[in-house]
Amino acid sequence: MRRRFPLRCSLASLFATCVGMMQPAVTAAQTPPPPSERIVIAYVEPTNLAHKPLYDLLKEKRALERVKQILERIRWPRTLRLELKGCDGESNAFYEDAIVTVCYEYVDEVWQNANSPKRPAMISREEAFVGPLSDTFLHEAGHAMFDLLKIPVFGREEDAADQVAAYHTLQLPKERKLQLIMGTAFAYASELKIRSPRDLSRPRLRIGRHVTYADEHGTPAQRLYNLLCIAYGSDKELFADVVKVGYLPSDRADMCEDEYKQVDFAYRQLIAPLIDVSP
């Protein structure tokens, strides 16, 4: 999703030599909020009445509270606000000035996709809805980390935010992380109009413009493979089917354990020191 803050980097390509030189710091003018105020949430009532059922559903399911629980142990130097709101017809999600915003218009698109008759039986409606929604909030929170915690990164920041989102999800209990990862993977597959692993290998003729690839995000196919790779690299047994069935090519799968370890190392060096240790 679009981010409204000009910073460019990538978490997975961090060099170890940067670690000791670039530690996050809080200036004397900043007073970090107490733990209870590190994360605030807001379900902004939609002005578009068509979004009211989604507003009610998300509040009932405590969607923002679940994301808050993942992020609140981080020692944020400023209060981070997570909000759901209408965006005047724009389907989007973004981070700006310590605020993560996910638009009801985007949520509606995810909801429609989750209810599609083309959704495979192996992916539940809840997984197809909650997976990409949770991933989007964690992706934008990744941008917030790079900004507020002054995390040094190389490469494309959007790739880094994808990695942070996936990494946080992969720290959850096994059943939950499997559901969320596969739900997010389904969202990318839907963008590609993929119904089976065979579709990933079929030749496609597409006439387009090179400028399409100037976007700061990776293509849906790249993001799908990157997500499945980091998941498989974290737990080859839990995510074995993505290779067996053919969604993740075996030649890429051979590299995935190292790819996960690279992200894990960067996270432990740069972000983990800023997280409260559980009692």
DSSP assignments along 215-256, one per residue? SSSPPHHHHHHHHHHHHHHH-TTTTTHHHHTTSS-HHHHTTH
150: phi > 0 → left, psi -120 to 50 → alpha, else beta; which? Answer: left
194 has a pLDDT exceeding 80: no
Please tell me the predicted confidence (pLDDT) of residue 193. Answer: 84
Band (pLDDT 50/70/90 cuts) for residue 211 is low
Band (pLDDT 50/70/90 cuts) for residue 42 is very high
Greater confidence (196 vs 181) lies with 181
Q: What is the pLDDT of residues 90-123, one digit of tens each?
A: 999 999 999 999 999 999 999 999 999 989 888 9
206's tokens: 């597409």
Q: Which residues contact 2 (CB under 8 A, 6 or more apart)?
A: 92, 93, 94
61 has a pLDDT exceeding 80: yes
What's the Rg (C-alpha) of the chain? 19
Average pLDDT over residues 25-51: 85
Average pLDDT over residues 42-55: 97
The residue ranges of every structural domain in the chain are: 33-201+214-272
**What pTM does this model have?**
0.85
Greater confidence (191 vs 81) lies with 81
3-class DSSP state of 214: helix
Give, to the nearest 10 degrees, the angle between helix 104-114 and helix 52-60.
Answer: 80
Average pLDDT over residues 248-261: 96
Q: What percent of the chain has pLDDT over 90?
A: 73
